[in-house]
Structure 1
Amino acid sequence: MTRNPFPWLVSLLVVAASAAWLLADGRALVAPSGRILLWYNDPWGPEGSQHLFDWYSPSHMIHGLLFYAALWLAVWRLPLGWRFALAVLVECAWELVENSDAVIERYRTATVSKDYLGDTVLNSVMDVACMALGFWLARRLPVWASVALILFFEALTVWLIRDGLALNVLMLLWPVDAVRDWQAVAAS
């Protein structure tokens, strides 16, 4: 039995088109400093979401774990490659929305990320790669391990940086002053 390479090629094309869109929209390819760091440790720093990996990379892995589960439940008969292509499409769509001027401004006004610039194109592509890793892990791990990984990543980021996927979504959609004040302690 041969595997169909088409969905994997479609996935690569979606990522390339997303990167091209971000560039055309004025997003920087790399951080303003010109540096490309493997890891950027300061979630509230001036180059947050500008390098290869950062404290928000685990959130994108969680996306992959959740997308795998949701697509398995919703379209389980669809071949794995096409489910992956759908996950890539959703993640890339999120990257485009997340890096729109309106959402960047929302982060600046509703969260403690007052100086947030949006992702660089490089960081955005690596966020998609993190989602892909989460998707792959969900495919390989038992369900309990995927759930444990989600809980671990959320607990780790909440403990270390006072943020994570759930808090990020909460603060973007429905800002809570008490959470913003709590996060501001870590940002200062």
Structure 2
Amino acid sequence: MSDGPVTLTADDRATRFWLAAAAAFLIVQIVTLALMGRIPICECGYVRLFEPGVNTAGNSQHISDWYTPSHIIHGFLFYWLAIVALPRAAFGARLTLAVVVEAAWELLENSPIIIDRYRTATMAIGYQGDSILNSAMDTVAMVLGFLFAVRAPVWLTVALAIGFEVATAIVIRDNLTLNVLMLVWPVEAVKAWQAAL
């Protein structure tokens, strides 16, 4: 039997507002990608939980791939950035900031200028951009990383980030660090090493 209507506190209302705002920014990302002409799912016509190929037509088209750990690390980094940028802000405001930054990156990453940059400067020679599904799931992966960083000790978060970077460097010869390096300051020796995979 209920004791009566549940009354939300100001903190509860603020949390709901910020979570709704974060969800709204994800929806804006999805709609904008559609307006940019991005395909909803892989042109292959099916959806995989994980795409194991790196330089394949399915990369960046399915729910997750070898670049998903990079987006989880984004969540770690954005959590720490939000603490510095918004030291007195509520959790929801920090999460919303992280979603805005990730969504902005996803839109930029799928613009012709960045797609072309990936093709010319990195190992992603045939990169066509993300499907809408993959891009949205990249943002979800960032949120999962953010939520992990909220709860986990700093040492564990750092260890996991290093583990992700080392594992993906070994398996696919790429990771977040190398990806940023090759986009900003391409190194021919790194490109040659990556191409030898």
Secondary structure in 1 matching 2:51: coil
Q: Distance in 2 between matches of 1:86 and 1:41?
A: 31
Asked which structure has the greater CA Rg, the reply is 2
- Superposed counterparts of 1:57-136, under 5 Å: 57-136=68-147
Q: What is the match of residue 180 of structure 2? A: 169
Structure 1, unaligned runs of 5 or more: none
Count of aligned pairs between the two proteins: 186
Deviating 4+ runs (over 6 angstroms)? none
Q: Distance in 1 between matches of 2:73 and 2:123?
A: 22
Secondary structure in 1 matching 2:144: helix
- Superposed counterparts of 1:2-41, under 5 Å: 2-3=11-12, 4=14, 5-41=16-52
Q: Distance in 2 between matches of 1:155 and 1:185?
A: 18
Q: Distance in 1 between matches of 2:54 and 2:98?
A: 26
Tell me by how many angstroms 1:166 deviates.
Answer: 0.4
Answer yes or no: is 1:54 the counterpart of 2:65: yes
Q: TM-score when scaled to structure 2?
A: 0.93
Structure 2, unaligned runs of 5 or more: 1-8
Q: CA RMSD in A?
A: 0.8
Percent identity over the alignment is 46
Q: TM-score when scaled to structure 1?
A: 0.97
**Per-residue deviation, residues 142-188 of structure 1 (Å, max 9, x unmatched):** 011111111011011001110000000001111110000000011xx
Which among 140, 150, 153 is matched to residue 164 of structure 2? 153
Tell me by how many angstroms 1:73 deviates.
Answer: 2.2
